[in-house]
Amino acid sequence: MERYCVYQERCHLEVQQKMYGWALTEEQKDTIIVHLIAQNFLNEERFALEFTISKFHQKKWGKVRLENELKSRKLSNYLIKKAIDSIPNQEYEETFHQLAEKTWNGINEKDSFKKRKKVGDFLLRKGYESDKIYEKIKELK
């Protein structure tokens, strides 16, 4: 399990899922998790911060998607808020505007309504806030 955690940052849920198929008692699994935490192989705060920044930079995910992904990994609301707040606001805004404009220019749709819908749906899937998306689409028209 140490090698598993060294390879990349993991959360408690991922470690538990990895051990699911193993023939271990709950007490043994808990002992392994305690050991990983004590030796600093497993740190949920570090995981949340690294996960958030890397998904934002690599996949250009918005705050809504990041929050939902962290919730699905059963992280505390405090850690989720801290991780989301670690994204610089100016960089977030610039990324959103660049992504929206690139998507708008990349869609070859003659019908204005369909084009706006496609761009809006794409940005919603990426996890950006709906009010921000609608303002940007109005601006791009």
Residues 12 and 58 in one domain: no
Residues 14 and 27 in one domain: yes
Residues 68 and 28 in one domain: no
Amino acid at 139: E
The pTM is what? Answer: 0.89
State residue 141's pLDDT score.
76
Number of domains present in the structure of the chain: 3
How confident is the model over 62-93, as pLDDT tens digits?
Answer: 999 999 999 999 999 999 999 999 999 999 99
Q: Are 119 and 53 in contact (CB under 8 A)?
A: no
Closest Cα partner for 94 from 68, 65, 131, 57? 57
Give the integer Cα–Cα distance in Å for 133 and 96: 9
Give the integer Cα–Cα distance in Å for 109 and 2: 51
Residues 18 and 51 in one domain: no
How confident is the model over 118-139, as pLDDT tens digits?
Answer: 999 999 999 999 999 999 998 8
Domain residues for the domain of 36 are 2-42
Give the integer Cα–Cα distance in Å for 57 and 120: 20
